[in-house]
Structure 1
Amino acid sequence: MPAAPSLPQHLPTTLAQLHEFGWRSKTVKQEISDNFTSRLAAGDELYPGIVGYDDTVLPEINIALLAQHDILFLGEKGQAKSRLMRLLATFLDDFVPYLDDAQIPLHDDPLSPITRRGKQIVAEMPADEVSIAWWPREERYAERLAPGTKFADIIGEIDPSKLAGGISMGAEEALHFGLIPRMHRGIFAMNELPELDELVQVGLFNILEERDVQIRGYPVKFDIDVMILFSANPATYNRSGKVIPQLKDRIGSVIYTHYPTERDLGISIMDQEVAPNNEVGEANTDAESTSAGPEVVVPYFMKELIEEISRAARKSKFVDHESGVSARLSIANYRTMLASAKHRALVLGESPAVPRISDLGHLYSSSLGKLELDMMGSHQMSERQVLDAVLAEAIGTVFNEYVEEHGLAEIAQIFSEGVKIEVGDMLPSSHYAELLKRVPPVWDKAFEVNASQSDAVRASCVEFVLAGLYATDRISRSQTHGRIVYEF
C-alpha cells in the first residue's frame, strides 16, 4: 500500500482547533465511498498493478464500495485477493484525527468518541485542552491469517492485571482489546476465512451484526466502526461446516476472482512482477533491465511457454483443480528461466543472455511444491512426472501456433538425412551458429519466429523448434547430463 504523505504542519492539535478547522466525522465506509467516488469521477487509476480484471472483478468491487459493504474475495490461490484488499486502503483519507490520550486503547473520534474515557474527556475538559493527534492512512489497515488465530488475537480478552487492581470484569477498562477493536475507524482483513475457529467466527458475526464486543459473556457495548474484508478458497468456503451460516449471511458482497483468461494477460502479470522496467529489444523480444551482469533478452515465445505451463497445469487431469495453480508458478518459473540464461552468459562471457528451452530443465526447483496432485485419480505419477507432461503439452501448444504461421514442420525433413543436433543450457551460442552452417536453408524459416541476427537469439529459436518437433512426435531425442540430442 502506498505510504501516506508527511503530516501537514497546519493540522489542528486541540479539539477547539478541530472545530474551527471544520472537520466532520464519517464512518470508515462512507469515507472510502466518498474518496472512491471522487477518484472514479476524475478518471484516476483505481487499482494499480491489477491485470485482467477490468471487465469482471473490478466492476463488482466498485459496486461493493459504493454500497458500503464488507467484502469477501472468493477465489483460488494466486488470484491477487490479498493485493486487492490492501489496495482498498488507498481509498482512506491521508489522516484522521483521534483523541491523544494514553488511557484510550484505540483511535477514538474526537467528535464522536465510543470509549468511556474518550466521552469523559470531551464532556469534562475545555476543548482547547483536549489534545488531538492524527492517524495516517498507512496504519489504518491490518491483516491476519486465519490458521492459529485465537479469539483474544482479534476480539480481545479480560486483562487479569486490571482485575487484580480492583476493576470489575464487566467494565470496559478490564478488557485487553484485539486487532478489530484497535482498528476502529480502519480496515481489518482476514485471510483464509474457512480456517478460522468457529468461536472466533461467532465473534466476527457479532461485530458485523451489532458492531459491539462481547468477551467471556460480558457485553461491553461499543459502536465499532470498521470495514471488514475476507478472503477464501471456494472449495473450503462452500463446504458445509467451514464457515457458519450466520457469518456468511452478514457479509455484504462476495467478489469472485479468477486466473488470467488470456495468455497475454498472464505474461503481462509476469512482466509486471519480475521486470517492471522492461525496455523494447529486437523485434518480438523484451530486454530486461538488470542491475548487474549481461543484458537479458527474452524472445516472446519463451514468455508464452512459461505462462502456458501454468495454463496447462490448470487444465491437467493430474492436478487438483480445487487447489488451483497460482500465478506465482509463472512468476517463479520466469525468474528461474532468466537466472539460468544469465548464469550461462556469465560463465561463457556472452551477451546478451537469451533464455532457451534447455533452461526450462531448471524449472523443477521453482515448480515442485506448487502443484497439488489429484490424489483421487488412478494415475501413479510423481509431481516431477506431472510437470514433465505439463511442460511437453505447453511446448506442443505454443509450437503448433507457430507452425501454422511459419510452416516450421518442413524442418523435420532435414532429420531424415541423418542430421543430429546437440543442445544444452551451457553450450555457447557459437555452437548453434556452427551447426546451422551445415544444414539446409529451410532453417531460415525458424528465424521468422523471432527475427534477429544475434547468435544467442537464433540459438533460442533453434531449441524452440527442435523441442516443438519432438513434442509433436516429428523427431526423437536422447538426453544425458543436461545435454539433449535431437535426431530422426
Structure 2
Amino acid sequence: MNIQHIKTLGELKKSGYQPRSIKEEVRSNLIEKIRNKENPFTGIMGYEDTVIPDTERALLSKHNILFLGLRGQAKTRMARQMVDLLDEYIPVIAGSEVNDDPLNPLSKFGRDMVVEHGDETPVQWLHRSDRYGEKLATPDVSVADLIGDIDPIKAANLKLSFADEKVIHYGIIPRSNRGIFVINELPDLQARIQVSLFNILQEGDIQIRGFKLRMPLDILFVFTANPEDYTNRGSIVTPLKDRIESQILTHYPKDIETALMITEQEADVPQVQKEIVQVSELIKRLIEQVAFEARVNEYVDKKSGVSARLSIAAYENAISSAERRSILFREKHTQVWISDLTGIIPAITGKIELVYEGEQEGPYQVALNLLDKSIRTVFSQYFPNPDQLKKKRNTGKRSTEEKEPENPYRAITRWFDAGNHLDLLLDMKDEERVAKLYQVSGLHAVVKKYYPQANEQETTLLMELLLHGLAAYSMLSKKMIGARIEFKDLMGSMMNLNQLELGEETDEPDGDDYQS
C-alpha cells in the first residue's frame, strides 16, 4: 500500500499504518525473498552454502551480527546489502534527529511535537538508503561520537541549563535509530568505548553525561572484525562479544572457478582496454593461482590473509602491461603474454604481509617466487607433469616389453642443451615474440600434440607457457636480466654458476639475475 502521500500524524493514523521494529521488518522482508527464491545478497560469490545461509538464519532470529574474517572477505559488502531488506520508506516526525516514529516518539523533540501539534504533527518519509549508518572503529573514536554529549554552544544559544535534555547532541548511533548501524574493525575500538555499547545492545537504551535518559533505540547492529586484530591491535571485550548474538565466520574463495568470477566482476577494465587486449583463460587462471599460492606460502603471514583485491589489482595490471606494449609499438590488438605478468609484481608486493623469513628474502623475490609457483601449478593442468614423468622412469623394474615413459619435452631440452638460448624482451612486438618462440625446436610440436584445435594466438601463448613451465620444473634455466627473460639449458647455467664461485670469468651479462 502506497501511503507516502500522507503528510500529518492524523492522516497516518487513519491509514491504519502499523509500525514494526527494524529487526521484525528485516525478518519479514527476508522471508518474502526466501519464499520467492530471491538472493538477498547479490554479487556475493562463494558464500552460497556457508556465510549467506548463516546470515539469513541470524536475521530470521532477529540477532545482531558479528562478521569475523580476514581482509577482503566481503564483510562490509554483506552488511551494506542488508539495506535492501528494509521497507522502501518509513514515516518519521519531520525534523527529528533520531528518526522518531510518529506513533511512538522517543526524543523530547518528538514528544513535544506531538503534544504541541497533535494530529497535525508533520510527517516525512525516510528512504531505506538513508537508514544505514557506518563507522570505522579507530582508536580516537569517543563515546561522544557514538552515543552523544552535551552541546554547550546549543545550551548557550537556547539559554538552557545543562540539565535540559534539549542541549544533548546525539551521536551517530542514536541518529541511526530505526535503521542498520555497522561498526567496522570492532577490535580497534578502545575497551572503554566498547563498554558504552553494552546497554544499547542488551536493553536498547543510552546514557549521556549522567542524564536520566531512557531511549529504547531500535537498531540492527552489524560488526566486522579481523581475527588478527585480537593480538595485534586490540580485542573485543568479552561482555560485548557475549551480547552479539550471532558470530559468522567468513572465508576466501574455496576454488579457482569462484575466484575467477569474483575478479571478473570486480576488476575495473575500461572498454578501450577490452577492445585492444585479449585475456585468455590461461592468463586468468595464472593470476588467480598467485593468490592461492600466497595463502599457503611459508613466507607470507597466513594470519594476516591475502585479500581478493590482490587478484583484482593483478588482473588490471596485466591488462595494462599489454596495453602499454601495444601503445609503444602502435599495435591495434594484442593479448596478455606470460611475460607480461612481470607487470603484476607491484600488485602482489602491496597485498601480502611477510613473516620474518619473507622479509629477509625480500618482497620482490617472494612475489617472483609466487608467480613461478603459480606457473608450475597451472602448467600441470595443461601439459604432462614433468615430475610425474621422472617418477615413472625411476619407479621399479620394467619388463623387456615395457617401454620407458615418453618424454614429450625431450626435443625442447635438447635444443637448449645444444648451446642455444632464447631471449624474450618484456617489451617487444607480438610478431617478433612469435618468431622467437618458433625458433625453439619442438615447442610448436608439443602444443599441437596436445591442442591440435588451438588457433595461432592460443598456440603461441601455450608455447610460451611451455618455456616458463619447464623452467619452473627445473628442466630449463630462466633468468630475468633487466627488461628481458633469458632461457638456457639448466646444466650450462649450473656450470657457469660454479665458474663464478671459483672466481673464473664468464660471458654472463651483469645485472640483477633471477634464477628459477
Task: Decide whether aligned partners of structure 1 residues 240 and 458 sit closer, same or farther in structure 2, where only a CA change above 3 A counts.
Answer: closer
Distance 1:379 1:149, change over 3 A: closer
2:263 matches 1:270: yes
C-alpha contact 1:73 1:255 (8 A) present in aligned 2 = yes
- Give the aligned residue type for 1:144: K
**Which residue pairs with 1:349 in the alignment?**
330
Aligned to 2:130: 139
For 1:73 and 1:269, locate their aligned partners in 2 and report how far apart those are by CA, in whole Å: 20
- Is the alpha carbon distance of 1:319 and 1:291 closer, same or farther for their aligned partners in structure 2, counting shifts above 3 Å? same
**1:56 paired residue among 7, 32, 50:** 50
Q: Residues 413 and 60 (structure 1 numbering): CA distance in 2 closer, same or farther, change over 3 Å?
A: farther
CA distance in 2, matches of 1:238, 1:26: 40
Matches within 5 A, 1:9-158: 11-101=5-95, 104-127=96-119, 129-147=120-138, 148-158=140-150
Task: Please tell me whether the aligned partners of residues 300 and 353 of structure 2 are also in contact (alpha carbons under 8 angstroms).
Answer: yes
- Answer with 241-250 or 164-173: which moved more: 164-173
Q: 2:68–2:227: 8 Å Cα contact kept in structure 1? A: yes
Decide which of 276, 296, 309 is 1:315's aligned counterpart. Answer: 296
Structure 1 distance, partners of 2:151, 2:452, is: 68
Check whether the contact 2:443–2:466 (CA below 8 A) recurs between aligned residues. no
Tell me what 1:301 maps to: 282
- State whether residues 180 and 220 of structure 2, in contact with CA within 8 Å, keep that contact through their aligned partners in structure 1: yes
Report the alpha carbon displacement of residue 66 of structure 1 after superposing the two structures with TM: 0.3
In the alignment, does 2:246 pair up with 1:245? no
- Larger mean Cα displacement after TM superposition, 18-27 or 29-38: 18-27
SS at match of 1:484: strand
Tell me by how many angstroms 1:450 deviates. Answer: 9.8
Tell me if 1:432 matches 2:433.
yes
Aligned position for 2:484: 483
Distance 1:478 1:378, change over 3 A: closer
Q: How many residues are paired up?
A: 465
Contact kept in structure 1, 2:29 and 2:85, CA below 8 Å: yes
Distance 1:92 1:402, change over 3 A: same
**CA spacing shift, 1:422–1:450, aligned 2, 3 Å:** farther
- Say whether 1:169 aligns with 2:162: yes
Aligned with 1:334 (options 315, 327, 330): 315
SS of equivalent to 2:228 = helix
36-45 or 240-249, larger mean C-alpha shift: 240-249
Please give the per-residue CA displacement for 1:239-289, whole angstroms capped at 9, x wherever unaligned.
Answer: 8962211100100110100011111211111101116xxxxxxxxxxxx77
Shift of 1:231: 0.4
SS at match of 2:77: helix
* Structure 1 residues 74 and 440: CA distance shift in structure 2, 3 A: same
Q: Deviations over 1:176-223 (max 9, x none)?
A: 001000000011100100000222211111210121111223341101
Equivalent residues of 2:99, 2:177 under 8 A apart:
yes
Report the alpha carbon displacement of residue 64 of structure 1 after superposing the two structures with TM.
Answer: 0.5
Question: Residues 293-315 of structure 1, C-alpha deviation per residue, up to 9 Å, x if partnerless?
Answer: 74321111111111111111111
- In the alignment, which residue of structure 1 is the partner of 2:464? 463
- Counterpart for residue 5 of structure 1: none
Structure-2-length-normalised TM-score: 0.84
Following superposition of structure 1 onto structure 2, how do residues 436-451 of structure 1 map, counting pairs within 5 Å? 436-440=437-441, 443-446=444-447, 448=450
Structure 1: distance between partners of 2:254 and 2:65: 23
1:386 corresponds to: 366
Q: Name the aligned partner's letter for residue 207 of structure 1.
A: I
Residues 1:170 and 1:253: Cα distance change in structure 2 (over 3 Å): farther
> Are the counterparts in 2 of residues 408 and 446 from structure 1 also a CA contact under 8 Å?
no
- Please give the secondary structure, in 2, of the residue aligned with 1:218: coil
Structure 1 pair 126/215, CA: closer, same or farther in 2 (3 Å)?
closer
**1:347/1:363 CA distance change after superposition, 3 Å:** same
Q: Which runs of 5+ in 1 are unaligned?
A: 1-7, 276-287
CA–CA distance in structure 2, aligned partners of residues 10 and 69 of structure 1 = 29
1:231 aligns with 2:224: yes
1:63 Cα offset (Å): 0.1
* Mapped partners of 2:154, 2:330: distance in 1: 69
Deviation at 1:10, TM superposition (A): 5.1
Q: Distance in 1 between matches of 2:116 and 2:271?
A: 62
Deviations 1:345-390 (A, max 9, x none): 2222334321112112122322223211113x59722111221221
State the distance in 1 between where 2:445 and 2:124 align: 71
- Structure 1, 308-317 or 167-176: larger mean CA deviation: 167-176
- Mapped to 1, the partners of 2:84 and 2:408 lie a distance apart of 50
Structure 1 pair 140–225 and aligned structure 2 pair: CA distance change class (3 A): same
Identical counterparts, % of pairs: 35
The aligned residue for residue 4 of structure 1 is: none
Does the 8 Å CA contact 1:356/1:459 hold for their aligned counterparts?
no
Deviation at 1:43, TM superposition (A): 1.1
**Bigger radius of gyration:** 2
Equivalent residue runs for 1:388-407 within 5 Å: 388-404=368-384
Relative distance call for 1:49 and 1:450 in structure 2 (3 A) is farther
User: Residue 369 of structure 1 corresponds to which residue in structure 2?
Assistant: 350
Q: Secondary structure at the match of 1:54?
A: coil
User: In structure 2, how many angstroms separate the alpha carbons of the residues matched to 1:479 and 1:324?
Assistant: 29
**Which deviates more, 256-265 or 163-172?**
163-172
For 2:247, give the aligned amino acid: V
Deviation at 1:21, TM superposition (A): 2.5
Which residue number in structure 1 is paired with residue 187 of structure 2? Answer: 194
Matched, 1:181 2:174: yes
Residue 325 of structure 1 corresponds to: 306
Change (3 A) 1:436 1:160: closer
Distance 1:378 1:460, change over 3 A: closer
Are 1:193 and 1:231, in contact at CA under 8 Å, matched by a contact in 2? yes
**1:265 counterpart SS class:** helix
User: Residues 45 and 262 (structure 1 numbering): CA distance in 2 closer, same or farther, change over 3 Å?
Assistant: same
| Runs of at least 5 residues in structure 2 that lack an aligned partner in the other structure | 387-406, 490-516
Number of the residue aligned with 1:358: 339
C-alpha distance after superposition, 1:18-69 (max 9, x if no partner):
1233221011111111111101111112211101111111110010010111
Kept in 1: contact 2:358–2:366 (CA 8 A) = no
> 2:84 and 2:452 mapped to 1: Cα distance?
42
Displacement of 1:238: 7.3
Q: Is the 8 A contact 1:294 1:346 kept in 2?
A: no
Match of 2:495 in 1: none
* Residues 476 and 251 (structure 1), Cα distance of their counterparts in 2 relative to 1, 3 Å cut: same
| Aligned-partner Cα distance in 2 for 1:45–1:478 | 49
TM-score, length-scaled by structure 1? 0.89
Task: State how far apart, in whole Å, the 1-side matches of 2:368 and 2:325 are.
Answer: 23
Contact 2:191 2:236 in 1 (8 A): yes
Residues 249, 169 of structure 1: alpha-carbon distance in 2 compared, 3 angstrom cutoff: farther
User: How many Å separate the matches in 1 of 2:322 and 2:26?
Assistant: 46
**SS, match of residue 212 in structure 1:** coil
Alignment of structure 1 residues 406-417 onto 2, 5 Å: 409-410=409-410, 411-417=412-418
